[in-house]
């Protein structure tokens, strides 16, 4: 039964390969990918039920013991992330079917989306630092290719900063993995955590963690090095932008959580403070950037970076409650942000343009879309009782408890600025008068389908907001599993000790 652990990686990979060999685009290929995405979602749900509040599932690949073998571990947080990534991938794939006619679809788009999913899922389940690097590369290579696949001549240059910044981070990650092997003598995360605990307070441990912080800070889009993100995401088609914003940067947040909570000793306070300060800067700077943009995808991408700041701030505060809030925020944000991108897509397809100056009158054309958009906009900026409020509330009250008044006010300010940029979209695209040259670019049925998909996502997000206690409990269980290093360590080392045969 434990072999199910490999499925979130193996299934998308197999689907991608199948699609590659299938050649031309056809309707049956869409069915295969759609079914596979649905099965992935089911597998992830099954895994979540097996791991939340229980011991992690561990599988050692090929039966080799560490340090030779690679362990795959699914604990509470990894299970939740797998579930969310499968959900977002499924929704985005359905949305992309409506976005384009079968004959207009790029033949490489679906296989690359599956490959991206495989990379993302492998980063969640891997228990080995070098394997994490490989998973990151699978994910990034697929994301580079998807970014440039459908970009036009004017936009293709934006891929260049994306590529260089991420390649730079990958090189540093590779060296950090090497350094970790030199310092700890192993790459297995559980063994590293054991040895790092024994070496607590030594400079080399701090150095490895600082380097990891730089690497995953870049990937997550934290303050000084976020500029590649809000300029490159807008060149993606909407369904892909939703997938990128939903999952790609969350991988950075996830790995930071994993490293700081489960692998490295909790006494690295200097790292925590640096993270918290950078998070404050990220929130405010990116929220200001969002106001400066004049097209929907640009605004949403900048807001996305600003929201990452809240999660990083929660990690930087590093109290059990803050980590719970971080996990809750990740759950909320993945759903809200991807649904906002999907709704931006619907607005785009209805008016045929992305630029706010040329949009308008959407409220009259479709009040339902307006309501959905308002709900998510309020949720993102944190108005009670919607899902964004709870995460923000805990983060701010924890930072006040710790005496970081500046960070708490930065968080409040960023939330206000988010609201302002949301209202910019609302006033220009929904509330103002319609322009004459507007016209939908896809069929009415497709728009109805897209609205249905967005409505389902909004429904999920409402469920999270109105059932906050239930979701906070899940987040707390996952956070406890993260913070209590012995659970993770023992379950992995036990399996390794038995030569990989559980």
Q: Which residues form the interface with other proteins (CB under 8 A)?
A: 67-68, 130, 133-134, 137, 141, 144-145, 148, 153-154, 156-157, 159-160, 163-164, 167-168, 170-172, 174-175, 177-179, 181-182, 187, 294-295, 355, 357
Nearer to other proteins, 149 or 383 (CB): 149
Quote the CA–CA distance of 366 and 250 in Å, as a whole number: 32
Quote the CA–CA distance of 499 and 501 in Å, as a whole number: 6
Nearer to other proteins, 324 or 421 (CB): 421
Length of the chain: 502
How many angstroms separate the Cα of 15 from the Cα of each of 26, 119, 229, 407?
A: 15, 13, 28, 45
Nearer to other proteins, 183 or 423 (CB): 183
Q: How far is the CB of 140 from other proteins (least distance, A)?
A: 8
Q: How far is the CB of 255 from other proteins (least distance, A)?
A: 18
Q: How far is the CB of 156 from other proteins (least distance, A)?
A: 6
- How many H-runs (helices) and E-runs (strands) does the chain carry? 21, 2
- The terminus-to-terminus CA distance of the chain in angstroms comes to 11
Q: Is 128 helix (H, G, I), strand (E, B) or coil?
A: strand
Q: Is the dihedral of CA 363, 364, 368, 369 positive or negative?
A: negative
Residue 452 in tokens: 């249905």
Nearer to other proteins, 226 or 363 (CB): 226
Quote the CA–CA distance of 197 and 488 in Å, as a whole number: 14
Nearer to other proteins, 292 or 494 (CB): 292
Q: How far is the CB of 324 from other proteins (least distance, A)?
A: 36
Q: Taking a C-beta distance cutoff of 8 angstroms, is the pair 421, 299 a contact?
A: yes
Q: How far is the CB of 357 from other proteins (least distance, A)?
A: 8
Nearer to other proteins, 101 or 171 (CB): 171
Q: In what helix (H) or strand (E) does residue 167 lie, and over which residues does it extend? A: helix 159-184
Q: Taking a C-beta distance cutoff of 8 angstroms, is the pair 40, 117 a contact?
A: yes
Q: How far is the CB of 215 from other proteins (least distance, A)?
A: 12
Nearer to other proteins, 13 or 260 (CB): 13
The 10 Å Cβ neighbour count of residue 393 is: 14
Q: How far is the CB of 329 from other proteins (least distance, A)?
A: 32
Q: In what helix (H) or strand (E) does residue 24 lie, and over which residues does it extend? A: none
Q: How far is the CB of 151 from other proteins (least distance, A)?
A: 9
Nearer to other proteins, 102 or 156 (CB): 156
- The CA R_g of the chain, rounded to the nearest whole Å, is 22
């Amino acid at each position: 039964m434990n072999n199910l652990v490999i499925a979130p990686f193996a299934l998308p990979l197999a689907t991608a390969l199948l699609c590659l060999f299938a050649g031309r685009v056809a309707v049956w290929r869409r069915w295969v990918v759609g079914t596979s995405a649905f099965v992935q979602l089911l597998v992830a749900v099954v895994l979540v039920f097996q791991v939340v509040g229980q011991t992690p599932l561990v599988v050692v690949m090929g039966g080799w013991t560490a340090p030779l073998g690679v362990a795959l571990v699914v604990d509470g947080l990894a299970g939740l992330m797998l579930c969310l990534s499968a959900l977002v991938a499924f929704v985005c794939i359905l949305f992309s079917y409506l976005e384009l006619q079968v004959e207009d679809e790029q033949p490489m788009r679906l296989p690359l989306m599956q490959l991206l999913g495989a990379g993302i899922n492998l980063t969640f389940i891997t228990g080995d630092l070098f394997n994490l690097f490989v998973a990151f590369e699978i994910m990034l290579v697929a994301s580079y290719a998807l970014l440039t696949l459908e970009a036009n001549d004017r936009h293709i240059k934006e891929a260049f900063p994306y590529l260089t910044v991420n390649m730079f981070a990958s090189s540093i990650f590779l060296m950090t993995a090497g350094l970790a092997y030199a310092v700890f003598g192993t790459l297995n995360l559980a063994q590293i955590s054991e040895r790092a605990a024994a070496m607590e307070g030594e400079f080399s441990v701090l150095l490895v963690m600082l380097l990891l912080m730089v690497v995953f800070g870049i990937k997550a889009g934290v303050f000084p090095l976020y500029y590649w993100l809000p300029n490159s995401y807008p060149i993606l088609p909407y369904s892909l932008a939703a997938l990128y914003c939903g999952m790609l940067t969350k991988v950075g947040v996830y790995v930071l959580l994993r490293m700081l909570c489960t692998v490295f000793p909790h006494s690295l306070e200097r790292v925590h403070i640096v993270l918290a300060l950078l998070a404050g800067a990220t929130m405010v700077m990116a929220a200001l950037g969002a106001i400066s943009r004049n097209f929907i995808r640009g605004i949403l991408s900048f807001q996305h970076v600003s929201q990452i700041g809240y999660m990083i701030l929660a990690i930087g505060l590093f109290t059990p409650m803050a980590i719970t809030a971080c996990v809750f925020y990740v759950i909320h944000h993945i759903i809200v942000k991807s649904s906002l991108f999907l709704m931006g897509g619907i607005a785009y397809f209805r008016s045929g343009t992305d630029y706010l100056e040329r949009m308008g009158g959407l409220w009259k054309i479709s009040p339902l879309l307006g309501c959905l958009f308002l709900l998510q906009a309020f949720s993102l900026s944190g108005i009670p009782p919607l899902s964004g409020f709870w995460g923000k509330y805990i983060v701010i009250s924890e930072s006040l408890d710790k005496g970081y008044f500046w960070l708490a006010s930065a968080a409040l300010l960023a939330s206000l600025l988010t609201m302002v940029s949301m209202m910019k979209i609302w006033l220009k695209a929904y509330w103002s008068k319609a322009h004459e040259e507007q016209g939908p670019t896809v069929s009415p049925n497709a728009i109805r389908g897209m609205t249905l998909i967005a409505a389902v996502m909004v429904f999920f997000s409402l469920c999270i907001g109105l059932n906050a206690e239930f979701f906070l409990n899940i987040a707390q269980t996952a956070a406890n599993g993260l913070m209590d290093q012995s659970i993770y360590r023992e379950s992995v080392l036990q399996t390794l000790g038995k030569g990989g045969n559980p």
